[in-house]
Amino acid sequence: MSDAIIEIRNLCKSYRSDKGEVSALKEVSLSIAQHDIYGIIGLSGAGKSTLVRCMNLLEKPSSGQVIVNGNDLMTLSDRDLNLQRRRIGMIFQHFNLLMQRNVLDNVAFPLEIAGLRKKEARKKAYEYLQTVGLEEKAKAYPSQLSGGQKQRVAIARVLASSPEILLCDEATSALDPQTTKSILRLLKDINERYGITIVVITHEMAVVQEICSHVAVLDHGKLVESAATEELFRAPKTAEAKRLVFSGSEHILDMTSDRVVRIQFHGGSAYEPILGNIVLETKTPINILYADTQTVNGAAEGEMLIQLPEDEEKARRIVAYFEEKGLNPREVKDHVKSAGNPDDH
């Protein structure tokens, strides 16, 4: 039996516009495991937000299946669909708070809608404010809060509905980097504490790296690649994924060399003085043309482009050393061109 809580099968979504029919999603299929934090990433216009809105049928797909907890949402009656939607929470880029209600009453709102008496709803709402670290702001109004505080209120309000799934549509895009990190830590804590499956829609690689265990890459409405996050960052297979992962490598266009290898490191190897050791061993300087290190789920992931010495024996020893350390050295042909064309990486 599958442990998937969300299955998307051959999903298509088309719109009619003045210019004719526009395909926002094209035969997208993916599976999201229960309790996972799953990232969906792509550039603007890739179809990310359309896909996440199809997961609770805020957008009705043109064809395909959206299966949540074993139920095909496309076949449900309005009543049964509304019941399923109650188990799917959603937070947005711009918070969507009720400006005329204070923080406590914003969080209590879905509890009141569900039929809880006001006093009991406020009591539970206060508990969820404690979960997101905002109990001291209970009587404040949204206009008095920072962006990060508003998003915490929005998260508390969603938690009040006791969802099994939390959809985050660019939930950190309006926040500064430091606040983004704090919100991502909160989401990870919620995932671990409550076992809520979280789907993160983003165009920011740093968000995926920080909390997602799996990631799917969309491009012009198509799913082009999906993998465990570490695997994607270590060895992206498609040009679209490489373009996102290697987005910081344009500056090597200005560099030239005769023989270059690309090495990849991850986990503990990122912290070993590998280059220092090989320089000492071969007594040969190594020219680093490009280096990038990033943290993915608490582990270091990275790559380097290394210019090898002209001495063939020393170059051979350096490559052998990299192989011994499990760094997967691969010679890069015409590396100046490759920086501009991710297919060559």
- Report the C-alpha gap between 126 and 70 in whole angstroms: 33
Mean pLDDT within 101-112: 94
Query: According to the model, what pLDDT value does residue 253 have?
Result: 39
- Report the C-alpha gap between 298 and 73 in whole angstroms: 36
Query: According to the model, what pLDDT value does residue 245 have?
Result: 76
Orientation angle between helical segments 274-282 and 312-324, nearest 10 degrees: 150
Mean pLDDT within 12-22: 87
Mean pLDDT within 294-313: 74
What does the pLDDT look like over 178-227, one tens digit per residue? Answer: 899 999 999 999 999 999 999 999 988 888 888 999 999 999 999 999 99
Q: What is the DSSP string of 65-121?
A: EEEETTEEGGGS-HHHHHHHHTTEEEEETT----TTS-HHHHHHHHHHHTT--HHHH
124 DSSP 8-state letter: H
Q: What is the DSSP string of 160-214?
A: TT--SEEEEESTTTTS-HHHHHHHHHHHHHHHHHH--EEEEEES-HHHHHHH-SE
Mean pLDDT within 47-55: 93
Query: According to the model, what pLDDT value does residue 293 have?
Result: 63
- Report the C-alpha gap between 27 and 6 in whole angstroms: 16
| Mean per-residue pLDDT over the chain, rounded | 85
**Length reported for the chain:** 345
Residue type, 139: K
Read off the pLDDT band of 330 (50, 70, 90).
Answer: confident
Q: What's the sign of the alpha-carbon dihedral 188, 192, 193, 194?
A: positive
**Higher model confidence: residue 294 or residue 170?**
170
Provide the percentage of residues in the chain whose pLDDT is more than 90: 52
Query: According to the model, what pLDDT value does residue 255 have?
Result: 41
**Higher model confidence: residue 75 or residue 309?**
75
Mean pLDDT within 121-133: 94
Q: How many other C-beta atoms are found inside a 10 Å radius of the C-beta of residue 136? A: 10
Interacting residues of 73 by C-beta distance below 8 A, sequence separation 6+: 56, 57, 66, 67, 81, 84
Provide the percentage of residues in the chain whose pLDDT is more than 70: 86
- Report the C-alpha gap between 9 and 236 in whole angstroms: 23
Query: According to the model, what pLDDT value does residue 220 have?
Result: 93
Mean pLDDT within 133-159: 94
Mean pLDDT within 283-293: 73
What does the pLDDT look like over 235-272, one tens digit per residue? Answer: 788 888 888 876 654 444 344 447 888 887 766 555 56
**Higher model confidence: residue 44 or residue 337?**
44
Mean pLDDT within 30-55: 93
Query: According to the model, what pLDDT value does residue 340 have?
Result: 40
